[in-house]
Structure 1
C-alpha cells in the first residue's frame, strides 16, 4: 500500500464516482430519447449516434437542448403511473372512483366508526347502522 498514496486513492474514487454518474445520466438520456413520442425516428437515431460517437459532448448538449422536456416527460410519466396505481387500488379494494356513486361497505363502516369515536352517534345507533350496512 506504500506505492499507492491516500491522495491517489481519493482521486481514483472521485473519478470512479464521476464515471458512474455519467453512466446513469447516459442511460437516463437514452430512456428519454425512446420515451419522447414527438421526436421522429431519424431524430432519435441522430441523438443516439451523437451520444455514442461524442459521449461527453453529446450528453452535455442533450441536457442543455432538451433538459426541460426531459423534466416534463418525467412528471407526465409519474402522474400516469400514480393514476394507474390509484385505479388499481380502487379496483382491488372494490370501491367506486370519486364521483362515481356510493362507496363500499368498508367505507360506510369506517365513516360510522368515525362518527361514533367523535361522539356524534351512540353505541346503540352505531350497532343498528352497522347491522343495516352489513345486511
Structure 2
C-alpha cells in the first residue's frame, strides 16, 4: 500500500482540484452574500413584527442553507417590491429636500417689496432704502 502524501507535494496541485476549490470558494462567497442580503431584507421589512424578524433570524442562523431556501420561496418575490419601494422613498425624500432648499431663497422682487414695506412703515430712511436697493440690484 502506497503512503498517503499531502496534495501540495513538490508544488503539485492538480488543475481539476484548483477548479473544484475555486467553485466551492465562489459558492461559499455567494451564499454569504445571499445570507447578508436576506438578513438585511428581514430587518428592513415593515410587514414583519419583532417576533417574525427574530424567528427568521434564528432560522437563518440555525439552519442556514435551508433557511435561505425557505425564505426565498416564502418571501423572495416580495423582496424586489420592498427594495423598489425603499428606492422610491429615498428618491422622493431627496427630491423634497432639493425642492425645499431651492425654494427658500427669496427673489430680488420679494426683497425689494420687503424694503419698500419697511420704508413705508418708517423703519428705514430713504437713504437706507436707496443703499439697500442698490446693493440688491448689484447682486
Identify whether the pair has TM-score above 0.5, normalized to the shorter chain: yes
1:70 aligns to what SS in structure 2?
Answer: helix
Which of 20, 27, 37 pairs up with 1:28?
37
1:1-135 → structure 2 map (5 Å cutoff): 2-92=11-101, 94-95=102-103
- TM-aligned CA deviation for residue 85 of structure 1: 2.0
1:10 aligns to what SS in structure 2?
Answer: helix
2:28 aligns to what SS in structure 1?
Answer: helix
**TM superposition score normalised by structure 1:** 0.64
Larger Rg: 2
2-structure distance, mates of 1:59, 1:4:
34
Hey, which bits of structure 1, 4+ residues long, moved more than 4 A?
none
1-structure distance, mates of 2:94, 2:14:
52
Cα deviation, 1:3-28, whole Å, max 9, x if unaligned, reads: 21122111111111111111111011
2-structure distance, mates of 1:85, 1:7:
51
Q: Give the number of equivalent residue pairs.
A: 100
Cα deviation, 1:77-101, whole Å, max 9, x if unaligned, reads: 0101111222233344x158xxxxx
Long gaps (5+) in structure 2? 1-7, 109-137
**TM superposition score normalised by structure 2:** 0.63
Long gaps (5+) in structure 1? 97-103, 106-133
